[in-house]
Amino acid sequence: MEIIKINIDNQQVQVPKGTTILKAAEIAGIEIPNLCFHKRLNPNSVCRVCVVEVKGESSLVSSCSYTIEKELTIYTDNERVKTARKLVLELIMSTHPNDCLLCENNGSCKLQDYAYQYEVEVFKFTRERPKYNIDKSNPFIIRDYNKCILCGRCVSICHQEQCSDIINYTHRGFDTKVSTYFDRGLEESSCAFCGQCVSVCPTGALSEKVAKGKARSWELKKVNTICPYCGCGCSIDLNVKDNQVIKVTSPENESINNGNLCVKGRFGFDFINHPERLKSPLLKDKNGNFKEISWHEAITTIASKLREIKDNYGSNAIAGLSSAKCTNEENYVFQKFMRAAIGTNNIDHCARL
Ligand code: SF4
Ligand code: SF4
Ligand code: SF4
């Protein structure tokens, strides 16, 4: 691997040939602002917020896609760069509703952060702002394209990670909008409601319906855990306020799922505080009615029934079906119990096929 020396903001850094300037800056501990870039996706180079100056280049370049092929001198934060970035942000804000007070993204919005950092004049360019209807028609995702900055992250993740191609840019020029085929609701498309698009949206254009109005971003405490649904063991963050799970997100790190989740992992957590959630074992009486019993009574009843069947009909009259929701260790113990205690190999697992 060829190593190239670069000078970035007067720091000498060595990077492998082909590294992007954005990545090289990260190695040097320099943060370059960006909106459309996402480390899980191929660079789009559409927002132009990450522009930097490369000595010898006539125009500023997008650091997310400009690869280092030879020795370079780079300025990531000089006056020329800062002026260009501010202008780009002001152009983005020219069609933005600036609705931070009521926005679900308030406090965790990159656009809001950069607008503040670069002291943008929000109303410098006056253009008619879009007036799209807010789409709340599906059960999981609120789509408010008035806040969309057309960064394309949602389109890219639906295509590159989810391999679904449910959404894409439609129309042209000022009318450009991210949409489904024929601008229908997500529920009328083949959308899997994985919520990946929500997870990468840098603004409040896409948000989780279940969390609407329940917590400001700074009130949420993230509790990392493992998804309870299947045996993949995806890493999830429970976003908790007042001991209630408000929404589920996923950390982008070296975990098995790298921030990706399915619909169950991301949205299927309403059972946690559901009023109908079973909190103690139920025993059905002869009339078919359930009554609550203690765990001790439940285990004693199951043990005596299993013994009765085994004594009367033999071990192979009993079969055990275990669950992908259990850990490997729990599944191991279960099969051991069936084989050693019950005495049968009639054991199967819902995820076997
Ligand atoms: S998306 Fe960001 S900048 Fe836009 S209204 Fe919401 S918090 Fe404010
Ligand atoms: S929820 Fe998933 S499948 Fe549906 S549009 Fe978003 S990324 Fe694509
Ligand atoms: S909906 Fe969000 S992620 Fe998609 S293009 Fe608009 S701002 Fe970007």
Kindly report the protein residue whose alpha carbon is nearest to atom 4 of ligand 2: 191
Distances (CA, A) of 26 to 32, 98, 116: 8, 30, 22
SS3 percent helix, strand, coil of the chain, rounded to 5, is 30, 20, 50
Q: What is the DSSP letter of 20?
A: B
Q: Are 130 and 200 in contact (CB under 8 A)?
A: no
Q: In whole angstroms, what is the distance from residue 150 CA to residue 341 CA?
A: 61
Check whether 333 has a pLDDT greater than 90. yes
| pLDDT tens-digit map of 272-297 | 989 999 999 999 998 999 999 999 99
Q: What is the pLDDT of residue 49?
A: 97
230 confidence band (pLDDT: 50, 70, 90): confident
- Mutate which of 45, 46, 92, 149 to test ligand 3's pocket (most atoms within 8 Å of Cβ)? 149
Residue 201 CB–ligand 1 contact under 6 Å: no
Q: In whole angstroms, what is the distance from residue 235 CA to residue 351 CA?
A: 19
Q: For the structural domain made of 3-77, what CATH number should be given? A: 3.10.20.740
Q: Which ligand 1 atom minimizes the distance to the CA of 112?
A: 3
Check whether 353 has a pLDDT greater than 70. no
Region 244-262: what's the mean pLDDT?
A: 92
Q: What is the pLDDT of residue 80?
A: 98
| pLDDT tens-digit map of 119-145 | 999 888 888 889 999 999 999 999 999
Locate 270 and state its tokens. 């309403």
Check whether 335 has a pLDDT greater than 90. yes
As a whole number, the mean pLDDT across the chain is 95
Region 59-76: what's the mean pLDDT?
A: 97
Check whether 260 has a pLDDT greater than 70. yes
Q: What is the pLDDT of residue 265?
A: 96
pTM: predicted TM-score of the whole model, two decimal places: 0.88
Residue 150 CB–ligand 2 contact under 6 Å: no
Q: Which ligand 2 atom minimizes the distance to the CA of 140?
A: 1
Q: What is the pLDDT of residue 108?
A: 94
Report helix angle 79-93 to 110-117, nearest 10.
130
**Which residue in 36, 83, 85, 87 sits closest to 64, CA to CA?**
36
Chain position carrying tokens 């995806």: 234
For residue 245, the CA-to-ligand 1 centroid distance in Å is 23
For residue 151, the CA-to-ligand 1 centroid distance in Å is 14
Region 17-46: what's the mean pLDDT?
A: 96
User: How do the domains of the chain map onto residue ranges?
Assistant: 3-77, 296-349
Distance of CA 84 to the CA centre of its chain: 31
Region 71-86: what's the mean pLDDT?
A: 97
Q: Are 163 and 202 in contact (CB under 8 A)?
A: no
For residue 103, the CA-to-ligand 1 centroid distance in Å is 6
| pLDDT tens-digit map of 186-216 | 999 999 999 999 999 999 999 999 999 999 9
Q: Which three-class secondary structure state does DSSP give residue 328? A: helix
Q: What is the pLDDT of residue 232?
A: 84
Locate 107 and state its tokens. 């406090």
| pLDDT tens-digit map of 86-132 | 999 999 999 999 899 999 999 999 999 999 999 999 888 888 889 99
